[in-house]
């Protein structure tokens, strides 16, 4: 597939906190409270990042940053409006929500579907 055009970078923001305490809280919530993050489901299997994720990011051909909600700055909070998890597109220093929580949840763990949705959203479909 062709690398993406019209976007400088993508940013994925997890609906989970980073750091050791955040990871423990997320794991406990997933086991005992049926909580989860759709972006985590796409990027990880257990504690390890999926190799398929890295392959997909390579195909996209643009930088792709992943952040936890406690790593967001004020500008990111303003754009996301706390609708997490989400994917943002950075186009000419303008951030926009590319895929929201429902879009990511609809992908399940299917990275091909995620890539299709990213490409379609950037194409305006």
Structure confidence at residue 31 (pLDDT): 53
Residue 113 has pLDDT above 90, yes or no: yes
Q: How far apart are CA 124 and CA 90, in angstroms?
A: 15
pLDDT digits (tens, 9 = 90+) for 73-95: 999 999 998 899 999 999 988 99
pLDDT digits (tens, 9 = 90+) for 37-47: 899 899 988 77
Instruction: Decide if 95 is inside a domain.
Output: yes
Structure confidence at residue 74 (pLDDT): 92
SS (H, E, C) 4-49: CCCCCEEEEECCCCCHHHHHHHHHHHHHHCCCCCHHHHHHEECCEE
Instruction: Decide if 1 is inside a domain.
Output: no
Instruction: Decide if 3 is inside a domain.
Output: no
Structure confidence at residue 16 (pLDDT): 84
Instruction: Decide if 53 is inside a domain.
Output: yes
Structure confidence at residue 33 (pLDDT): 58
Split into its structural domains, the chain has a count of 1
Residues 87 and 11 sit within 8 Å (Cβ to Cβ): yes
Phi and psi based region of residue 21 (left: phi greater than 0; alpha: psi -120 to 50; beta: remaining): alpha
Instruction: Decide if 86 is inside a domain.
Output: yes
Domain of 80 in residue numbering reads as 9-123
The one-character DSSP state at 2 is P
pLDDT digits (tens, 9 = 90+) for 3-22: 787 899 999 999 988 655 55
Instruction: Decide if 2 is inside a domain.
Output: no
Residue 32 has pLDDT above 90, yes or no: no
Tokens encoding 65: 């940053």
Nearest one of 80, 74, 77, 123 to 104, comparing CA atoms: 80
Structure confidence at residue 61 (pLDDT): 94
Domain CATH code at residue 74? 3.40.30
Q: Tell me the mean pLDDT in the region 59-79.
A: 93
Instruction: Decide if 17 is inside a domain.
Output: yes
Q: Which residue has the tokens 């930088």?
A: 63
Structure confidence at residue 119 (pLDDT): 95
């Amino acid at each position: 597939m062709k690398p993406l055009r019209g976007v400088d970078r993508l940013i994925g923001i997890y609906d989970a906190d980073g750091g050791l305490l955040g990871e423990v809280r997320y794991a406990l919530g997933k086991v005992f409270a049926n909580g989860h993050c759709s972006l985590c489901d796409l990027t990880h299997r257990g504690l390890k990042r999926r190799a398929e994720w890295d392959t997909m990011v390579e195909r996209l051909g643009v930088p792709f940053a992943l952040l936890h909600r406690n790593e967001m700055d004020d500008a990111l909070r303003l754009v996301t409006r706390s609708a997490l998890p989400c994917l943002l597109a950075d186009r000419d220093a303008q951030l926009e929500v590319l895929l929201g929580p429902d879009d990511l949840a609809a992908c399940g763990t299917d990275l091909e579907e995620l890539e299709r949705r990213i490409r379609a959203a950037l194409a305006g479909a």
